[in-house]
């Protein structure tokens, strides 16, 4: 996982990353990761087409991921395996 490149969706306005909150009773958030740039773009076009001009896709290496999780207080990551449905696998940071 550390040697891979991932893609994240980030707000151009405030720099926040797109995150998921899988449990509405819990305030924990998980940053969404995409394995391919085109998967992130597909997700944007399908689920946030009207906001696409306010968001950008950026790449991040696996080695930078821990820093992002700590800086933004994410509980873990949500790896998007199907951007159209969407299907997301959640992994908690240890």
Domain extent listing, the chain? 5-92
Instruction: Give the pLDDT score at 94.
Output: 75
Contact indicator for 4, 65 with CB cutoff of 8 Å: no
Token pair 């906001």: residue:
51
Contact indicator for 30, 69 with CB cutoff of 8 Å: no
Q: What is the mean pLDDT of the chain?
A: 93
Please check the confidence at residue 1 and state whether its pLDDT lies above 80: no
Instruction: Give the pLDDT score at 42.
Output: 94
Contact indicator for 57, 37 with CB cutoff of 8 Å: yes
Query: What is the rounded average pLDDT of the residues 37-65?
Result: 93
Comparing 2 with 73, the larger pLDDT belongs to 73
With bands split at pLDDT 50, 70 and 90, how would you rate the model's confidence at 2? low
Q: Using CA atoms, how far apart are residues 56 and 5, in angstroms rounded to an integer?
A: 16
Measured between alpha carbons, how far is residue 35 from residues 13, 27, 28, 40 in Å?
Answer: 24, 25, 22, 8
Please check the confidence at residue 24 and state whether its pLDDT lies above 90: no
């Amino acid at each position: 996982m550390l040697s891979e490149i991932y893609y994240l969706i980030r707000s151009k306005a405030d720099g926040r990353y797109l995150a998921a909150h899988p449990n509405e009773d819990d305030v924990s958030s998980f940053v969404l990761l995409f394995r391919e740039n085109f998967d992130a773009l597909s997700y944007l076009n399908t689920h946030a087409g009207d906001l696409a001009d306010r968001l950008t896709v950026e790449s991040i290496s696996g080695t930078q991921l821990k820093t992002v999780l700590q800086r933004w207080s994410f509980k873990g990551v949500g790896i998007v395996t199907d951007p159209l449905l969407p299907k997301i696998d959640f992994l908690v940071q240890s």
